[in-house]
Amino acid sequence: MKYHILLLAAAAAHVQSTPVGQVAPVASAETPATSPVLVTQNAVSSPTSGRSTFYGGNTSGGKCSFSTYQIPSGLYGTAFSGQVWDSAAHCGACVKVTGPKGNSLVAMIVDECPECIESHLDLFQDAFAQLGSLSGGIISTSYEFVNCGITSPIKLHNKSGTSAYWFSMQVLNHNEPLSALEVSTDGGSTWKKTTRQPYNFFENSSGFGTDSVDVRVTAESGKTVIVRNVSVKSDSEHNAASNF
């Protein structure tokens, strides 16, 4: 992160930044049954103008804890501002990024850039290279949140140690930013809240006292996906039937 702090200081002084050393790019993931994503998705926010830097990329070890997930084919990756991290509220969301030449791509938020302000994205190297020259190290960009365009369903992943007495679940592969994950133990008559952690798991420290639950995932748009009879077994995964 030291390099990115130097880049920001150089940009503020209108001095050309030092080129980034060659870093092996992180390959795009290949999620089965996921179509390539175009940059024509409908925007779900107004554009934010600023600048972008790049780094080698970190999906599995990033702050969003995507240790079992790969970025779908057709999408790129980016780290998002630590100033507006908001307990990982943007993890898995997608942004359409437009570069100085007017061309665009769609990137999924998979990591945090602690020193980045809200208008600053730290793109994966392969994404940055599509928008500008790597030798400059920093370019003017704008971004807006868009639907990811993923055609495969939402996935639920239980953290190691999850049980009937400690609940920790992650939502993966969702098309829109998430606002809530709720749990029902009575067939959906009532729903209990969970708390999203900065490392992108929804948790209840006491668990729900049962080996399987119904899960309701809500997007910021208000759309919901309900997944029935989900096991709370440690390290298990469960596919929903749909996406937002």
Task: Specify the range with the lowest mean pLDDT, choosing from 9-23, 124-138, 156-170.
Answer: 9-23
Is residue 7 over pLDDT 90? Answer: no
- Output the pLDDT for position 41: 54
pLDDT tens for each residue of 156-188: 999 999 999 999 999 999 999 999 999 999 999
**This prediction's pTM:** 0.83
How many Cβ atoms from other residues are within 10 Å of residue 168's Cβ?
Answer: 22
What confidence category does residue 45 fall into, taking pLDDT thresholds of 50, 70 and 90?
Answer: confident
Q: 151 or 36: which carries more pLDDT confidence?
A: 151
Is residue 33 over pLDDT 90? Answer: no
What confidence category does residue 16 fall into, taking pLDDT thresholds of 50, 70 and 90?
Answer: very low
- Output the pLDDT for position 19: 33
- Output the pLDDT for position 167: 99
Is residue 224 over pLDDT 50? Answer: yes
Architecture of domain 2-146: Beta Barrel (2.40)
Spell out a b/e string for 13-42, using b for 16 or more CB atoms within 10 Å of the CB, else e.
eeeebeebeeeebbebbebeebeebeeebe
pLDDT tens for each residue of 65-113: 999 999 999 999 999 999 999 999 999 999 999 999 999 999 999 999 9
> To the nearest whole number, what is the mean pLDDT of the chain?
87
User: What percentage of the chain exceeds 70 in pLDDT?
Assistant: 82
Mean pLDDT, residues 183-207: 99
What confidence category does residue 35 fall into, taking pLDDT thresholds of 50, 70 and 90?
Answer: very low
- Output the pLDDT for position 44: 65
Q: 37 or 51: which carries more pLDDT confidence?
A: 51
Per CATH, is 155-236 categorized as 3.30.930.10?
no
Domain residue ranges of the chain, discontinuous segments joined by +: 2-146, 155-236
